[in-house]
Each structure stands twice: as structure tokens, then as C-alpha cells.
Structure 1
């Protein structure tokens, strides 16, 4: 059975991101085809990315805080990224968390749940592009939510019921791709 991490995309104290990630997990936990775990990037206390050499070259140069992050991402087979949109992009905290690692992301699948004033679509597209470098395959189905209709006062998450179907479509593909890519990572054709 594959392990899928639901990755938060914000570290701000006033974030609504955790509410969205918890909703994703509540839907995902009804499934029996994978294990799902909430992975809050804020818990890892990663400093701003400022490593002397790229992570692709050597993990020996990682900040000490990145070692636990590395172990967590390495233990997962796929991901659901929950990203807000800040200035038409992902947050710097999420970008830094991705940049700290390289091989730990390789040949895994990801789905995207985004939200923002314009549904977080630009952030989702930005994230798809970012994830190509560490060889993460992003699935086509995604969930895009509005700060104006899926949140009360932009602070309390109340998703429209139809988002459940979109999320299940995303989860279907992430589980399928994660299962296939796990075989590839193990050198086995499935």
C-alpha cells in the first residue's frame, strides 16, 4: 500500500491552509487503497533556503532542520500539495521546503489542491512547473477553491460540496500514479 503525504503550503500564523489540509485528510481517510498522513511544513521549522550547494549535489550540506524533513519526504510515495496563492505563486515557505531536497522527491506523484482569490490556479500551475525539476509527476485532476465562496470571511473554511468529487478524482490519480512509480523506484515493472 502506498503512503501519501498531504503537504501544507503555508507557514503563516494566520493561515487557513491547515483547515484545507485537514479537510483533504478527512476525505482521503475514507479510502482503503492508500495510507494518508498530514505533513505540516511549519512543524519542520526549515530556515530560509540558503544552502552553500544545491541539494542535488550533496545532502551533507543541508541545514540540520532539513534532516527530519528529508526522512519524512523519503518515506512517502506520493503527495497532495495544499497551496494558497500569494501574488500569483506558491508561498516562499513551500518553495523553500521543496528546494531543500531533490532525490527524496524523485519519481513520485503529486496532486494539487489550491485556493485563492482566483482559485489558486496560477499557484497550482507554478507548483506544477516547480515539481518538474525534482522529477515529481503531477496528475491532471486538481481542486481549485475560492477565498470568496469556499471560506467565510476568508478565514473559516466551508468548501462547496462539489469539491469532494474533484478531490476524489485527484486522489484516484495520485494513488494510481504513486503505485506505478513505486514499482519504477524499486526497479520493477508493474
Structure 2
């Protein structure tokens, strides 16, 4: 019997006042309840990489920067990824784009799920991330969680919200299950194919 797929929940904002910790904790709890995946939080704060300045992608040339190499080694441990994505000016965070660029081999042929947030549910950032994931040979899954509009302000402490995603469960619990189901299916399929 195949072991449970190991999935990284990647925290893609590093600001001191980030909202990301709330949806990260929530999706980790949802994954535990789901029971089909082993998840681990991987925080970009722990990998302070320079802007990508290698000779080429590690698809072609081994990286030199020690933090980038540690990042690549960490990514290699996983069978897939769930990105907790903030939308900054209609796209992903700069730190996430840099982190994506710092690896290639490690991302390939693994699923990518998205929990996004922002004024329109982080949708524009999620769409950018899906395109980048395709180029990195990931399999972006269809289902995603989008925390936006009134729900976003209802739970974002910086805007006077509760900080409790249970307050918007009706909007996000169904999509979370669909996301976890998709990531599970694709993680098992791609893990078997890579084997």
C-alpha cells in the first residue's frame, strides 16, 4: 500500500503583519481532518534567498547559493504543494515568484493547490500562479479556496475582522474539501508515475 502523499503548505507572504498564518493554520487543520495527506508548513520566512541570480535554472546548472540549495532540498521531500497565496497588485508576492524561480527539478510532475485571499479572493494571483506552475511542470488542480470580498474583511484582523475562518465556513469549507480531494488524487497519481 502506498504511504500517504507528503504535501508542503507553502506560506507565500513574509510580511510581519501578514494574514497568511490564519489560512495556513486552517488548511493544515482541514488536511488533518481529511486524513489522506501528511502536510508540513514550509514558510518562506525560513528561506531568505537573494533575488534569483544563478547562472541558470537548476534544471540546467546546479545552484550555488546555500539557502537556495536548502530550499530545493526541502521541496524535494514532498509529493505536492498547497500554496497559501496573497494577492499583491493583481499577482503573487515577489518573494513567492523568487522562490518558484529558485527551483525547477523539485517542482516537476507534482500537484499544486491554492488557498488564495484578497479583495476578489486572490483570483488574479491564483491564475498567475497556475500559469507559472504549468511552466514548472507542476499539475495545478482545478479546485481552490478563495477568501475575498466581505468574507475577507470579516476575518482579517487588520480590518477589524475576527481572525476566525469558522466565521466563513459556509463559503470555504466545501472548496477546501474539493481542493484536498484534488491534491490527494493527483499526488497519488503523479507519485506512482514518478516511481
Cα distance, 1:19 vs. partner? 1.9
Query: Structure 1 stretch 101-110 or stretch 39-48: which is displaced more?
Result: 39-48
Tell me, which stretches of 5 or more residues in structure 1 are unaligned? none
Query: Structure 1 stretch 9-18 or stretch 146-155: which is displaced more?
Result: 146-155
CA distance in structure 2 between the partners assigned to 1:156 and 1:46 by the alignment: 33
Mapping 1:8-87, distance limit 5 Å: 8-59=11-62, 61-87=63-89
> Is 1:148 the counterpart of 2:136 in the alignment?
no
Relative to the length of structure 1, the TM-score reads 0.92
Query: Structure 1 stretch 103-112 or stretch 160-169: which is displaced more?
Result: 160-169
Q: Is the 8 A contact 1:108 1:181 kept in 2?
A: yes
CA distance in structure 2 between the partners assigned to 1:58 and 1:52 by the alignment: 7
Aligned-residue RMSD, C-alpha:
1.4
| Number of residues of Structure 1 aligned to a counterpart in Structure 2 | 185
Tell me, which stretches of 5 or more residues in structure 2 are unaligned? none
The DSSP-based 3-state class of the residue aligned with 1:125 is: helix
The DSSP-based 3-state class of the residue aligned with 2:34 is: coil
The DSSP-based 3-state class of the residue aligned with 1:79 is: strand
Partner of 1:133: 135
> Is 1:165 the counterpart of 2:174 in the alignment?
yes
Q: Is the 8 A contact 1:3 1:78 kept in 2?
A: yes
Cα distance, 1:36 vs. partner? 0.8
